[in-house]
Structure 1
Amino acid sequence: MKNMISYSAEVQEAIDQKKPIVALESTIISHGMPYPQNVETAREVEQIVRDHGAVPATIALMDGRIKIGLSEEELELLGNSPDVAKVSRRDIGQLLATKKIGATTVAATMICAELAGIRVFATGGIGGVHRGAETTMDISADLEELSNTGVAVVCAGAKSILDIGLTLEYLETKGVPVIGYQTVEMPAFYTRHSDFPLSYGSDSTEELARILKAQWTLGLKGGAVIANPIPAEHALDKAFIDEIIEQAMSEAQANGISGKEVTPFLLGKVKELTEGKSLVANIELVKHNAKVGAQLAAAYQIL
Structure 2
Amino acid sequence: MIPIAYSAEVAAARKSGAAVVALESTIITHGMPYPQNIEVARQVEDDIRANGAVPATIAVIDGTLHIGLEDAQLGQLAQAKGVAKLSRADMAACIATGGTGATTVAATMIAARLAGIAVFATGGIGGVHKGAENSFDISADLMELAQTPVTVVAAGAKAILDVEKTLEVLETQGVPVIAYQQDAFPAFWSRGSKLKAPLRMDDPAQIATAHLMRAQLGLPGGQLVANPIPQESEIPSAELAPIIATAQADANRAGITGKGVTPYLLQRIFELTEGRSLTANIALVRNNARLASLIAIELSKKA
Match of 1:250 in 2: 249
TM-score by length of 2: 0.98
Give RMSD over aligned pairs: 0.8
Match of 2:72 in 1: 73
Q: Does 1:220 align with 2:219?
A: yes
Q: CA–CA distance in 2 between the matches of 1:89 and 1:44? A: 27
Q: Counterpart of 1:261 in structure 2: which amino acid?
A: G
Q: CA–CA distance in 2 between the matches of 1:227 and 1:179? A: 6
Deviations 1:58-84 (A, max 9, x none): 000012111000011211122111211
Structure 1 residue ranges without an equivalent (≥5): none
1:9-28 equivalent positions in 2, closer than 5 A: 9-28=8-27
Q: Does 1:4 align with 2:3?
A: yes
Match of 2:296 in 1: 297
Q: Counterpart of 1:129 in structure 2: which amino acid?
A: V
Q: CA–CA distance in 2 between the matches of 1:40 and 1:49? A: 15
Q: CA–CA distance in 2 between the matches of 1:219 and 1:42? A: 35
Q: Counterpart of 1:205 in structure 2: which amino acid?
A: P
Structure 1 residue 17: Cα displacement: 0.3
**Consecutive aligned runs of 4 or more in structure 1 exceeding 3 Å deviation:** none
Match of 1:211 in 2: 210
Q: Counterpart of 1:260 in structure 2: which amino acid?
A: K
Q: Counterpart of 1:199 in structure 2: which amino acid?
A: P
Structure 1 residue 91: Cα displacement: 0.8
3-state SS of paired residue (2:57): strand
Structure 1 residue 156: Cα displacement: 0.3
Instruction: Give the stretch that moved more between structures: 33-42 or 104-113.
Output: 33-42
Structure 1 residue 199: Cα displacement: 2.0
Q: CA–CA distance in 1 between the matches of 2:153 and 2:231? A: 17
Identical residues among aligned pairs (%): 53
Match of 2:104 in 1: 105
Instruction: Give the stretch that moved more between structures: 76-85 or 277-286.
Output: 76-85
Q: CA–CA distance in 2 between the matches of 1:65 and 1:301? A: 27
Q: Counterpart of 1:259 in structure 2: which amino acid?
A: G
Q: CA–CA distance in 2 between the matches of 1:277 and 1:136? A: 30
Structure 1 residue 259: Cα displacement: 1.1
Match of 1:87 in 2: 86
1:140-151 equivalent positions in 2, closer than 5 A: 140-151=139-150
Q: CA–CA distance in 1 between the matches of 2:202 and 2:92? A: 40
Match of 2:135 in 1: 136
Deviations 1:20-75 (A, max 9, x none): 10000000111111211111000010011011011000000012111000011211
Q: CA–CA distance in 1 between the matches of 2:76 and 2:141? A: 25
Q: CA–CA distance in 2 between the matches of 1:24 and 1:158? A: 17
Structure 1 residue 191: Cα displacement: 0.5
Q: CA–CA distance in 2 between the matches of 1:248 and 1:64? A: 37
Structure 1 residue 275: Cα displacement: 0.2
TM-score by length of 1: 0.98
Deviations 1:119-176 (A, max 9, x none): 0000000000000000000000000000000000000000000000000000000000
Q: Counterpart of 2:289 in structure 1: which amino acid?
A: A
1:106-255 equivalent positions in 2, closer than 5 A: 106-255=105-254
3-state SS of paired residue (1:58): strand
Instruction: Give the stretch that moved more between structures: 201-210 or 159-168.
Output: 201-210
3-state SS of paired residue (2:165): helix
Q: CA–CA distance in 2 between the matches of 1:245 and 1:105? A: 23
Report how many aligned residue pairs link the two structures. Answer: 302
1:44-63 equivalent positions in 2, closer than 5 A: 44-63=43-62
Q: CA–CA distance in 1 between the matches of 2:178 and 2:225? A: 5
3-state SS of paired residue (2:179): strand
3-state SS of paired residue (2:137): coil
3-state SS of paired residue (2:144): helix
